Chain A
């Protein structure tokens, strides 16, 4: 009986109404980021596409391939995905472009990760694109938009799904630390070793090293605090789904964690660092609505 009541409460909260503009703002932010990210990664994809087949180590959906694709096909898929992501961002022919953009991004980013290094920086972006692909995210602020019909399930569930995916990825990362290192992860020594090894690898391979790596490794107490903080943020991620101040506080802490990772390890997670990953926890429509109203009030002065 209690389980049934809890399930009903959860269902009601999950499907609680939300404005179409909020989901549209998320479509624009996530789709826009994906478009820019794929454009920025094109030169690297072109290099990878010409790598020797012996280096090919397929992950995810790429496991359907037994050998790498011809370079031209890799680039063609990536360019088509960029065009689809741009169309999806604008909301053009959304029911077609959004699923194709999500599948294209899944393929292209999985292919990028199929050469010996899985880029965890792109996981959440792909998951968000897949969620947007099944959501009615082009009922507002979309090119060639028709009047929305009956949206039985509304828009709130899709926004909550995007937020839940953000929180779930952090939770899984926190659980992995506990499963692999247990409470030893909290003493700071593990983090010191990780930072030092990462820095040495980058130094020997000609990459840019982190500005705070050496001073942090020299101060284990600071790293113990950082270790505890990391685990609290990751395991506490589901609390952000409560919304309000808890969500704002968690998003700020998670952003600070990523900024700390840049300073300590020079590892960049652009999607959360630019804030898009956390937008589903906020009233995202204000990012577009407020400037839009300001522009309108200037363009059409009051009589």
Chain B
């Protein structure tokens, strides 16, 4: 009896792990957990990347935010959240922008040097990742557009601060 249980468990688990081989790994939703088609890094892709991201607007400059400001500790979950908002409507983009602004105001990631950030921008941009990585940041950024912009609560604008 125990031999039969061992055989069923062995064949069942090994078969389940190998089953994704017969699935189409490039179809949406073909990946799962823990039985994966392991599509990550497997599909061919050009160096061009179009993605949405969020940045902090500071006087005369912009600041990089942390995944925690988007509501997660994981970079790739932050990425998924931002792409979903970008592909949603203006309401969804504005809501995410406000949520990020509230976290920046509340200093979700202490010591991040965001004290002078007075607004948040949700940006979608197209980049040549290889050129960008080679240090050609300007050449790597082909185009950028602001999807949503909102104020960080309680920070005011640079004009407010200078008393103008």
* A residues with CB within 8 A of B: 14-15, 43-44, 47-48, 51, 54-55, 57, 59-60, 106, 109-110, 113, 115-120, 122-124, 126-127, 130-131, 134-135, 151-153, 157-158, 160-161, 164-165, 168-169, 171-173, 175-177, 179-181, 184-185, 190-197, 199-207, 213-214, 217-218
A71 shortest CB reach to chain B, Å: 13
Contact pattern, B 61-102, Cβ under 8 Å of A = 1, otherwise 0: 000111101111111111111101000100010000000000
Q: Does B159 contact A (CB under 8 A)?
A: no
Residue of A117, A169, A201, A205 touching B49 (CB-CB under 8 A)? A201
Known contacts A115-B77, A205-B67: A173-B17 contact under CB 8 Å = no
A180 adjacent to B49 (CB under 8 Å): no
B71 / chain A contacts, CB cutoff of 8 Å: 47, 51
Residue of A106, A122, A153, A195 touching B6 (CB-CB under 8 A)? A153
Q: Does B154 contact A (CB under 8 A)?
A: no
A151 / chain B contacts, CB cutoff of 8 Å: 2
Known contacts A172-B20, A176-B37: A44-B74 contact under CB 8 Å = yes
Q: Does B18 contact A (CB under 8 A)?
A: yes
* CA A156 to CA B121, docked complex, whole Å: 58
* 8 A-B pairs (CB sep. < 8 Å): A47-B72, A60-B34, A118-B31, A120-B40, A172-B20, A172-B21, A185-B42, A190-B45
A200 adjacent to B127 (CB under 8 Å): yes
* CA A51 to CA B45, docked complex, whole Å: 31
Main secondary structure of the interface of A (DSSP, over half): helix
A153 adjacent to B2 (CB under 8 Å): yes
Interface core residue of A44, A169, A185 (most chain B CB under 10 Å):
A169
B129 adjacent to A193 (CB under 8 Å): yes
B42 adjacent to A201 (CB under 8 Å): no
B17 adjacent to A127 (CB under 8 Å): yes
